[in-house]
Amino acid sequence: MQNMNGPGTPGSANGPPDGLFALLALQDAGTVTGAAARLHISQPALTRQLQRLARAAGAPLVERRGRTVALSAAGLLLAEHARRVAADWEATAAAVAGQAQPPLRLGCGTAMALSLLPAGLGRLRADAPALAFRIRAADSAGVEALCLAGDIDAGLVTTPPADRRLSVLPLGRDPLCAVAAPGGASRLGLADLAAGPLCLYARGTGFRRFVDELFARAGLRPRAAAEMDSLEALRELVAAGLGRSLLPRSVVSAALRTGRLQALDVPDLPAAARTIALVRRADRAPHAAFEPLARALREAALDLLPE
């Protein structure tokens, strides 16, 4: 293992910014290999950055521990300050980029517009307050078509496309959840659920086909008391006691936490979940804000999607 603290006299040079990022990557990854991979540089290049930073600091920043490395006391102190510098740098860079770049054009369906998209854009907005957005509503097939036509820069889909002209970034799985108003029976069979009354999404949509196929595989036809083209409206109808429903967990998670809805235990309901993905046209350069958007959506998905 190379000496990452390097020779030289204390304080002989000013440490370059890349050395700070190298130090943080090493602290997060725990290994030189992992740190280099995070920064997309070679291990020797990472070592040189850390050596220059150690010379500038005038103290060893890294120490060996068996086959691994860890930050020294001086390294930990510098890393604490470096994190604040890195956060300020990223926020400033994002703000500057947001002032110069065109609006970020996005597409998504109702479920994602109620949950993942606003959560992700809230995070992105905090880092790039000057970035403008243009958002269009469409189901998964519509989002694919808008991407291919160049009418949007990226979109959220609940059915990842097979079209190789689209680049697909999976964000998480959104399981189907059987729900009802609080106070009733919390356990029932799939046949009892199908017997209704049910509040279901409108016919002819991808989500309705997804639900109908679950019942059809068990030889059942669901009896709908209400059919709406709004998941939010369905959630409110169920909370008002008009019937039960099968809805994406992302749409009902807040209502379940507050007790406005209760989750139903349906033992013979097949486990089903939709894969949420961010798509863009693969043969075109991504919008400058695409990577920050993807990062913000991944973080939001960790909070909203249980799988």
Show me where the domains of the chain are located. Answer: 17-99, 103-307
The CATH architecture one would assign to domain 17-99 is Orthogonal Bundle (1.10)
- Token pair 């097939």 is at which residue? 141
Which CATH number describes the domain made up of 103-307?
3.40.190.290
103-307 matches 17-99 in CATH topology: no
Q: Can you give 193-235 as a three-state secondary structure string?
A: HHCCCEEEECCCCHHHHHHHHHHHHCCCCCCEEEEECCHHHHH
pTM: 0.58
pLDDT of residue 13: 38
- Token pair 């204390």 is at which residue? 10
CA distance 270 to 139: 24
For residues 220 and 190, is the Cβ–Cβ distance under 8 A?
Answer: yes
Number of Cβ within a 10 Å radius of residue 144? 23
pLDDT of residue 10: 34
CA distance 168 to 70: 36
pLDDT of residue 16: 41
Beta bridge partner(s), residue 207: none
Mean pLDDT by runs of 10 across the 307 residues of the chain is 48 52 87 86 88 88 81 89 77 60 86 83 86 88 91 90 90 90 90 92 84 91 90 91 91 89 90 88 90 90 72
CA distances from 251 to 58, 109, 266 (A): 54, 12, 19
CA distance 59 to 9: 9
